[in-house]
Structure 1
C-alpha cells in the first residue's frame, strides 16, 4: 500500500470508529470489536519478533500481562488515575522488560529461544502471584467510573482507546516492515550468519524488535483490567494469550505488516461469532482447527494466498497475450 493511500485510510478508520460510538446503542458490539482489535494488536506485536525477525516467541503473553498489571499498580498507587496515563506508561515498562529479556535471550536460537521466552513469562507470573500489592493470586478488582466525558458509557471510551492503539500498532508495524530496519530484520530471518557477515547489526536490530514487541503487547494489555474489571494471574498470564498472538499472524501471513491485521480480523470475528451462537468453550478448538488448516494448506497465510493468486493471474495474462 502506497504512503499517499495509507494515511487517509488510517484517518478514515479512526473517524469511522468515532462515528460508530454515535450511532450504535448496543454495547455488545463495542465489547466484541474491542476483543477483535485487542487480538489484532497482539498478533501485530508477536509478528514483529516472530515474523519479521524469525524468532518464535512463546512468552508474549507475559508482556501483555505486564501491561495489565502496570495499570493495576497505577490504579492502586495513585488512586485510580486516568486510564490514558496507564496506556502511556505500560508500553514503556513492558518495552524495557522486552529490551532486558532480549539482551539475555537473543543469543539463543530456535527452540532454545522459544523455551527461554516461555520461562520468562512463568517467572513474571510467579512474581505477580506473590505480589500482594497488585492482588497476588487472589486477583484485583477495578471499579469502572460511572461517567466518562464525551461518551455515553465507559466501554465506548475503551473502544475508541483500543482503536487508537490498534492504528498506532499498524503504523509502527508498517514502518518497520518498509524501512531499513525491516530490511535488516528480514536479513536476520533469512540467514542471520550471512547478515552478520554483510555488516548488519543483528543484535541491535533484534533488541529493537523485542523492545517494540514488548511495548505493543503492553499497550494491548493496559486497558484489559478496565475491560474485564477483575484481573488475576490466571487470566492475564493465560497461555491462550500467547497461542492467539501466534495464531493471528500465522493465519494472516507473517511476511508483511498487513498479515496480522487480516488474521486478527478473521480469527476475532470467528471467535465472537462462535461465542455468541454456539459456545465460548469451543473457541480454543476453533482456533486450533483454523490454525492447523492454514499451516497445512496455506503456510504463507491469507496474504500469501492472495499474492499467489495475483501471480497466477498475471502469469495467465502473459500466457494469453
Structure 2
C-alpha cells in the first residue's frame, strides 16, 4: 500500500465517521471520541521521537499546555477561527521543540528524559505566573453552542481533532518508511555507529523534535474550548505525560500503528473506568498495564502479533 493510498484510506475513514456521526444523538459520544483522537495525536507525536529515535520525552505536558495557553492568549487578543489557533499553537510548540532540541539532544538516555521533565516544570511555573491567561486562577472560555457547519461545537471539535489525528498517523507512516525513518532507526539502535556511517543524527533528531512538539501543540490548542475552563494543574496534568508514553509502549513503539492501538485501547478502558468506577483509578490502570506489558510483552501488542505471525 503506497503512502497516497494510505492517505486516501484515512480520508475515507474521516468521511465514514462523519456520516456515522449524523446518526448520533448523545453528545457524550463526541466528548469520548475527542479524547480518543486527542490521545492518538499525542501518542503518535511522542512516538516520532521516543519510538523512532529512542529518545524518551517526559515533557509532553509542556508542549501540550503551551499549545492550549497560546490558544487562550491569541483568542483573547483577536478571537480568530479555531484553525488559526491550531496553527499558532503548532508554531509555538514547534519553536520550543527546536530550542529544546539544541539544548538537550546532546544528552542521551535518562539525562535527556530528566531535561524534558525539567522543561515541563519550568513551563508550568511560567504559565502559573502569566496573569494575561489567568495565571494560577485559570481562564474561562465561552464555548460556542454550534459549530460553523451546524451541529454542536463539541461535535465540531471532535472532527477537527480526528482530522489532525489521521494526518499525524499518515505523517508517521510516511516517515517510518522513508530515509528519515531508517536514519531514526539507526539512531535508536546505535547512534555512534549511525554517525560513523554518515547518518546526520543531529539534523534528524532536531527534525522529529520540532515535528513532535508541533503536533503536541496542535493537540493542545482546542483544549480550552473543549473543557471551557483551563488552569495550570489540569493543563500540565501528569496523566498526559504518563498516557502518552504508555500508549505507544502498550501498542508497540517504533511502529506507526502501535500508538493508535494503544491510544484506542487505553482511552476506552479509562473512559469506562471513569463512568463505572472513578477517574482516580485511571493512572492506576495505566500503571498496571505498563507493568504487565513491560514484563510480558516488552514490544507491545504489535510485537506479540509479529511473534505469532512468525511462528505461524
In the alignment, what sits opposite 1:59?
59
Output one character per residue of 1:177-227: Cα deviation in whole Å (capped at 9) or x when no partner: 111011100000000000111111110000001101101111111111111
Cα distance in 2 for residues equivalent to 1:70 and 1:256: 31
Output one character per residue of 1:31-53: Cα deviation in whole Å (capped at 9) or x when no partner: 01111111111111111111100
Report deviation, 1:65: 0.5
Cα distance in 2 for residues equivalent to 1:11 and 1:147: 24
Report deviation, 1:4: 6.0
Cα distance in 2 for residues equivalent to 1:221 and 1:246: 17
In the alignment, what sits opposite 2:126?
127
Cα distance in 2 for residues equivalent to 1:227 and 1:4: 32
Cα distance in 1 for residues equivalent to 2:263 and 2:145: 31
> What stretches of structure 1 move > 6 A for 4+ residues in a row?
none
CA contact (8 A) 2:67 2:92 kept: yes
Cα distance in 1 for residues equivalent to 2:102 and 2:7: 34
Report deviation, 1:147: 3.1
In the alignment, what sits opposite 1:82?
81
CA contact (8 A) 1:17 1:163 kept: no
Show structure 1 runs of 5+ residues with no match: 314-321
In the alignment, does 2:257 pair up with 1:252? no
Cα distance in 2 for residues equivalent to 1:90 and 1:271: 27
CA contact (8 A) 1:45 1:217 kept: yes
Cα distance in 2 for residues equivalent to 1:170 and 1:267: 17
Report deviation, 1:10: 0.5
Superposition TM-score, scaled by structure 2 size: 0.97
Output one character per residue of 1:6-43: Cα deviation in whole Å (capped at 9) or x when no partner: 23320211102211331101001100111111111111
Superposition TM-score, scaled by structure 1 size: 0.95
5 Å-filtered alignment, 1:51-200, equals 51-78=51-78, 80-200=79-199
Cα distance in 2 for residues equivalent to 1:58 and 1:147: 36
Larger Rg: 1
Output one character per residue of 1:131-186: Cα deviation in whole Å (capped at 9) or x when no partner: 10011111000001123322221011001100001011101111111110111000
- How many aligned positions are there? 312
Report deviation, 1:92: 1.2
